[in-house]
Amino acid sequence: MDFVKEELEEIKKKGLYRSLRLIEGEQGPEVSFNGRRIVMLCSNNYLGLANHPRVKEAAIEAVRKYGCGSGSSRLISGNMELHQELERKIASFKHAEAALVFGSGYLCNLGVIDSLMGEDDVILSDELNHASIIDGARLSRARVKIYPHKDLNVLEKELKQLKGYRRKLVVTDGVFSMDGDIAPLPGIVELAKKYKAMTMVDEAHATGVMGQNGRGCVEHFDLEGKVDIQMGTLGKALGSLGAYVAGEKKLIDFLINRARGFIYTTALPPPLCAAAITAIEIITQDRQLRNRLWENAKFLKEGLQKIELPVGNPETPIIPIVIGESSTTMRMCEILLQSGVYAQGIRPPTVPEGSSRIRTTVMATHNQEHLIKALEAFKAVRGGLIQGRAGSGRGEQEKQGFEQFNPFICLMGDFLWFQQIS
Ligand SMILES: Cc1ncc(COP(=O)(O)O)c(C=O)c1O
């Protein structure tokens, strides 16, 4: 096992070593960390439903009635009332014929892509798609063609050239998880139709967030009924864990029979199903939460722009500050933590080489005080930044002439900042 130590040393040398931070207590807009209260600015609990009283109560009630676990996979003996109720709820929420629940978004993307696609097929995938889509595509053994981020011209060129494949699939994140921008879905759907490809949209960061009724990017673009496969997670705005696919009944029947990520794993525990059912009810009944989320996103984005941090132009509550260099990004993350703000640094391979970033996300449950505290902390470290504009992806940054975070100036910034707080 010597290689393990050697590889870890390599990872450390590159400034890419990861370790776990412990959040004490529940996931709120403010959390306990090392015994201190700090502002949480990197949770996907967008609407605060992970600790909403009604959601918690529903989960507790489900434990009382159904117990903690499902005891088996769905196709053996684990199919319970709550699974089916949740699937009916999701299908109706997404205006789809049927839905199927998976254990997590990662499993879902693996299961769906691997079961639908095979060696004779081709997948067209945005270069910034989530790792679970990438892994699903790899697992399927289909030919994978990666198109530049949101580039419909290249996508069309690729689609036009395809010959001899059995099935074609265009797959994209709806909201890109590390950049907070939105896929050009109308164009993608149009091209897929023109070239007879299937479409799949990952609504992980869009469900509960995008669209008039929180149904996601497909609703936002008025494309309901026009996307073949919609997947989303229950672990982000819905505050629980798990994932779903929504689409035609025949697709769901196919997945029940073919998706290994559905078949060979224990069914979702009852409290998580109950939590997700209640979360969907809250989302459909209460627009206020979503309105607050968007107001907070606007406030934070404008505040960060005002202090001239390179936030680019994110379109959603995910607001990345692209720094470039990994160790500098993590240093900035540490300084923010010390000043009471938790905004995680994100490094390769999660984001492209040279585009490490502080990824901030706002929540509906943040108040002005939280956000002002966060902005003050960012202002204190901004001395370490050379002003520049951040784009969403590798290419974008080059095109827009984004300048790298300067480590020397950063250290000066740290020094000045430490002087201020000591
Ligand atoms: C776009 C996207 N898809 C899928 C997933 C995986 O979902 P889960 O966390 O439920 O496994 C995530 C995040 O984790 C994501 O950001």
Please check the confidence at residue 395 and state whether its pLDDT lies above 80.
Answer: no
**Ligand 1: which atom is nearest the Cα of residue 242?**
10
| E-strand stretches of 154-270 | 168-173, 198-202, 229-233, 243-247
| E-strand stretches of 370-411 | none
Please check the confidence at residue 212 and state whether its pLDDT lies above 90.
Answer: yes
Phi/psi class of residue 67: alpha, beta or left (left: φ > 0; alpha: ψ in -120 to 50)?
Answer: left
Residue nearest to atom 16 of ligand 1 (CA): 177
Please give the distance, rounded to the nearest whole angstrom, from the Cα atom of residue 203 to the centre of ligand 1.
9
Q: Which residues are catalytic?
A: 177, 205, 236
Please give the distance, rounded to the nearest whole angstrom, from the Cα atom of residue 252 to the centre of ligand 1.
20
pLDDT for position 391: 35
Position 312 confidence tier, pLDDT thresholds 50, 70, 90: confident
The two three-digit tokens of residue 262, written as one number? 């559905």
Position 11 confidence tier, pLDDT thresholds 50, 70, 90: very high
β-bridge pairing 345-346 and 356-361: antiparallel
Q: Which residues form the pocket of ligand 1, taking CB atoms under 6 Å from any ligand atom?
A: 104-106, 109, 130, 132, 173, 177, 202, 204-205, 233, 235, 243
Q: Which tens digits make up the pLDDT trace of 362-372?
A: 999 999 999 99
Please give the distance, rounded to the nearest whole angstrom, from the Cα atom of residue 254 to the centre of ligand 1.
22
Phi/psi class of residue 276: alpha, beta or left (left: φ > 0; alpha: ψ in -120 to 50)?
Answer: alpha
| Predicted TM-score (pTM) of this structure | 0.91
Please give the distance, rounded to the nearest whole angstrom, from the Cα atom of residue 104 to the centre of ligand 1.
8
Say if residues 242 and 279 touch (Cβ distance below 8 Å).
no
pLDDT for position 385: 56
Return the best residue to mutate from 126, 130, 176 for the ligand 1 pocket (most ligand atoms within 8 A of CB): 130
Position 388 confidence tier, pLDDT thresholds 50, 70, 90: very low
Mean pLDDT, all residues of the chain: 91
pLDDT for position 382: 83
Position 88: which residue type? R
> What domains appear along the chain, each with residue ranges and CATH number?
11-40+287-421 (3.90.1150.10), 52-285 (3.40.640.10)
Which of 10-24, 89-103, 183-197, 292-306 is predicted least confidently? 10-24
Return the best residue to mutate from 43, 132, 351, 361 for the ligand 1 pocket (most ligand atoms within 8 A of CB): 132
Q: Which tens digits make up the pLDDT trace of 107-119?
A: 999 999 999 999 9
Please check the confidence at residue 396 and state whether its pLDDT lies above 70.
Answer: no
Return the best residue to mutate from 42, 176, 205, 233 for the ligand 1 pocket (most ligand atoms within 8 A of CB): 233
Phi/psi class of residue 354: alpha, beta or left (left: φ > 0; alpha: ψ in -120 to 50)?
Answer: left
Q: Which tens digits make up the pLDDT trace of 253-271?
A: 999 999 999 999 999 999 9
More confident residue, 381 or 366: 366
